[in-house]
């Protein structure tokens, strides 16, 4: 029974790592499609989201099967429950990349972004991809110290997101309401992608140590707006 449990948990961890890798790749291509008005890249992100969704379903099935068939307790139960929660976060990361690609597709052949904010989104995309790769890394390594550092790396994303609003509120903004709405939504998508990556890190810390980092330390609020 123990061998079977370990094998199933390893398979679940592998799926979660693969999902995180796909989500990071999707955000990288979604960002390129946004900055370059590249329809083919946007379409590839939209089409390939089905792969993330399928893996998410597969991971949930494995996790619930472990609960039903293995009846885990203590640390084993913590691992399974954490796995279920991580599935939701990583799936959401993929969905947020999908939202970025859909805006790029909707505005094609025009650019969705005014040129003056391209630099913001190029950097936000870089940070998001790096956080996606870090989430994949900690899912594989289960290193709690590395997992905790994701929050520090997310601070740059939060700064960029705040600065975007100063651009939007500037009286010299001349790109109209539709562009302002797109920029607001896109900024939120990148910020949420990063937040979910950080939450993966928090769950890994809980999985390994049994202690969930406090909201005072990490200031993550996933209850408002997915």
* Res 1: pLDDT: 56
Burial (CB < 10 A; 0-12, 13-18, 19+), residue 101, is buried
SS (H, E, C) 17-31: HHHHHHHHHHHHHHH
Q: What Rg value do the Cα atoms of the chain yield, rounded?
A: 19
**CA 58/CA 184 separation, integer angstroms:** 33
- pLDDT one digit per residue (tens) for the chain, 226 residues: 567 777 888 889 899 999 999 999 999 999 999 999 999 999 999 999 999 999 999 999 988 888 887 676 777 888 888 999 999 999 999 999 999 999 999 999 999 999 999 999 999 999 999 999 999 999 999 999 999 999 999 999 999 999 998 999 998 899 999 999 999 999 999 999 999 999 999 999 998 888 888 754 544 444 444 4
* Res 6: pLDDT: 77
222 and 195 in contact (C-beta within 8 Å)? Answer: yes
- Domain 2-218 fold is Methane Monooxygenase Hydroxylase; Chain G, domain 1 (1.20.58)
pTM for the whole structure: 0.90
* Res 215: pLDDT: 56
Find all residues with CB under 8 Å of 141, minimum gap 6, and list them. Answer: none
Domain boundaries, the chain: 2-218
According to DSSP, residue 175 is labeled S
């Amino acid at each position: 029974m123990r061998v079977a449990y370990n094998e199933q948990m390893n398979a679940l961890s592998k799926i979660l790592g693969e999902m995180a890798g796909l989500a990071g790749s999707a955000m990288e291509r979604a960002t390129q499609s946004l900055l370059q008005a590249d329809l083919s890249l946007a379409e590839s992100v939209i089409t390939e989201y089905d792969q993330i969704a399928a893996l998410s379903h597969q991971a949930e099935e494995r996790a619930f099967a472990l609960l039903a068939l293995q009846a885990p307790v203590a640390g084993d139960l913590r691992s399974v429950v954490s796995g279920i929660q991580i599935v939701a976060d990583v799936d959401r990361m993929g969905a947020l990349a999908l939202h970025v690609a859909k805006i790029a597709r909707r505005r094609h052949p025009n650019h969705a972004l005014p040129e003056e904010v391209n630099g913001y989104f190029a950097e936000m995309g870089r940070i998001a991809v790096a956080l996606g790769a870090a989430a994949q890394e900690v899912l594989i390594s289960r290193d709690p110290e590395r997992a905790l550092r994701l929050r520090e790396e997310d601070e740059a994303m939060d700064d960029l997101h705040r600065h975007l609003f100063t651009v939007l509120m500037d009286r010299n903004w001349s790109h109209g309401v539709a562009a302002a709405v797109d920029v607001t939504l896109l900024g939120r998508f990148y910020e949420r992608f990063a937040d979910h990556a950080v939450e993966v890190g928090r769950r890994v810390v809980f999985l390994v140590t049994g202690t969930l980092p406090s909201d005072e330390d990490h200031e993550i609020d996933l209850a408002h707006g997915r």
